[in-house]
Structure 1
Amino acid sequence: MLYLDQRSDFLSESTAPSASSLLGQTGHVSEVDRVYAEIFDAVMDRRLLPGAKLTESTLCEIFNCSRATVRAALAQLGHDKIVVLQPNRGAYVWKPSPEETRDVFEARRTLECVLIDKLLQFPDLRQRLQPLRDMVRQEREAFEHGDRISWLRLSNAFHVKMARLVENHVLTEFMHALCCRSTLIIAFHDTPSSSTCSYEEHDQILDLILAGNRDGALAAMCHHLQDCEHRVGEPHARRPDPWSAFSVKR
């Protein structure tokens, strides 16, 4: 038997922005949008791991919606490279290949260096960077309090918010997509013992940008992303349970 519409305590207490909220969607939210966002956030929060199979009938029951709604949401997730749709097999959370891992992080390094160059052109840099300073402080607090979900969300949101500061919607969309794929890559490869102090690296990057130290900021950003890439090891053999991501009991 399934118990629907439940969320674990750490999710209800999290004040960090969910990954779906960074999509910038406004206006009416359809049933397809709702299901998309629920699955998307479960993947980005690492509650739903790469390789997990998503069965239409169970998703319909979880979200109390039609099969057409689930199919439309999965199709959109497939378009966004979050889910892979395999003919006659169904939908699975995307699993990165070594080539895709290299390509994603190379693209991120290139784009984030472009963003730093664009930020350095703004005269109101200190004021513009203040929201990122506040976010890093929240990231540190989440890490120190053991709030893993908020920490993961804020670590990812830092880079998307930085892209927004340059006021280029296309670059922001690219950054959001790359951050999402990076999250899946790290979730696929990470081991329970791995750790990072990304908030310290984020603070250092902001210090260098504010000081006008272009070369230092670019080097710090590349080092930060290379650390993320190098931290991935062999994927662990834990079998993903897609329904635990939605607090479903069977």
Structure 2
Amino acid sequence: MLSLNASQDAPADLQAPRASSLRHPHAGARTEVDRVYDDIFDAVMDRRLLPGAKLTEATLCSVFDCTRATVRAALAQLAHDKIVLIEPNRGAFVWQPQAKETRDVFAMRRALECTVVDMLLALPDLAQRLEPLYAMVGRERQAFECGDRISWIRLSNAFHVELAQLLDNDVLTDILHSLCARSSLIIAYYDTPGQSACSYFEHQDILDKLAQGDAAGAKSAMQHHLHDCEERMGEPDKAPAADPWLAFSVKR
């Protein structure tokens, strides 16, 4: 029997959360559709499955040891969330972003995350709430410096979602998580080797401005950070995609 095992999970000491764990942090028992969705979602967010990779139903059924109905339901949900594109008579593919979508996603992130900054600064105990985020940035730096790319990607993405989670507003967190996921796809599509963002020091600057109660400084730091993320991207990688199933560790 085949089972999917995310062997590339982060080392325990870095505590790098899988992207799927941030979708519904208070959710109950996962269904089979949730399991398939989450593992494909994590492979895409970790950039183990790259934009344009084809997702074949028969192979997914074998990898996940599940029914075709389960695979179709998971792919339909991924398509709804703009992680997968389903094309009639061709099948499912990891979403490939367009230039307008890139501009729209980062424009919305800048607007929403500056709103998050304003809402955070209204909290009376913000400095205390920020302590776990400082620890996260420390782990992000450690992952970058030791070359643990997957942990670094996970922690970099989680920073923004967990910053919003401090507000305990599930709707806001869901929206931001979706935007961060689409940003990860965009970055994977345009990623230029050697040009990836070294974002931990920018995250540190955002936290410092928040801790100081500097609203203008915190929003400026957030705007600068997200603008730089958008500007660092080069041209789409046109090289032939590797076998997408190498994204998964499959054990008998």
Which bin holds the TM-score, normalised by the shorter protein? Answer: over 0.9
Which residue pairs with 1:22 in the alignment?
22
Judged with a 3 Å threshold, the aligned counterparts in structure 2 of structure 1 residues 248 and 19 are, in CA distance, closer, same or farther, namely same
Judged with a 3 Å threshold, the aligned counterparts in structure 2 of structure 1 residues 25 and 92 are, in CA distance, closer, same or farther, namely farther
1:13 aligns with 2:11: yes
Q: CA deviation at 1:245?
A: 0.9
> How much identity, in percent, do the aligned residues show?
62
Q: CA deviation at 1:13?
A: 3.4
Which residue pairs with 1:122 in the alignment?
123
- Distance in 1 of aligned mates of 2:79 and 2:45: 15
Q: Say what the alpha-carbon RMSD is for the aligned residues.
A: 1.6
Judged with a 3 Å threshold, the aligned counterparts in structure 2 of structure 1 residues 141 and 12 are, in CA distance, closer, same or farther, namely closer
Matched residue type, 2:16 = A
Which residue pairs with 1:211 in the alignment?
212
Unaligned ranges ≥5, structure 1: none
- Distance in 1 of aligned mates of 2:151 and 2:77: 25
Matched residue type, 2:191 = D
Q: CA deviation at 1:87?
A: 1.1
Give 3-state SS (helix, strand or coil) of 2:89's partner. Answer: coil
Q: Cα deviations across residues 54-109 of structure 1 (Å, max 9, x unaligned)?
A: 00000001111110010000001011110011111111111110000000000000
- Distance in 1 of aligned mates of 2:196 and 2:38: 27
Q: CA deviation at 1:3?
A: 6.7
Q: CA deviation at 1:49?
A: 0.2
Match runs of 1:73-222 below 5 Å: 73-222=74-223
- Distance in 2 of aligned mates of 1:13 and 1:215: 37
Which residue pairs with 2:40 in the alignment?
39
Unaligned ranges ≥5, structure 2: none
Q: Is the 8 A contact 2:61 2:71 kept in 1?
A: yes
Which residue pairs with 2:245 in the alignment?
243
- Distance in 1 of aligned mates of 2:128 and 2:134: 10
Give 3-state SS (helix, strand or coil) of 1:105's partner. Answer: helix
Q: Is the 8 A contact 2:197 2:232 kept in 1?
A: no
Give 3-state SS (helix, strand or coil) of 1:65's partner. Answer: coil
Matched residue type, 1:200 = F
- Distance in 2 of aligned mates of 1:98 and 1:206: 30
Q: CA deviation at 1:11?
A: 2.7
Q: Is the 8 A contact 2:164 2:172 kept in 1?
A: yes
Q: How many residues align?
A: 247
Q: Cα deviations across residues 191-236 of structure 1 (Å, max 9, x unaligned)?
A: 1221322110000011111111111111110010011101111011
- Distance in 2 of aligned mates of 1:134 and 1:226: 24
Judged with a 3 Å threshold, the aligned counterparts in structure 2 of structure 1 residues 89 and 183 are, in CA distance, closer, same or farther, namely same
- Distance in 2 of aligned mates of 1:4 and 1:112: 38
- Distance in 2 of aligned mates of 1:195 and 1:34: 30
Alignment TM-score, normalising by the size of structure 2: 0.94
Q: Is the 8 A contact 2:36 2:74 kept in 1?
A: yes
Q: Is the 8 A contact 2:2 2:62 kept in 1?
A: no
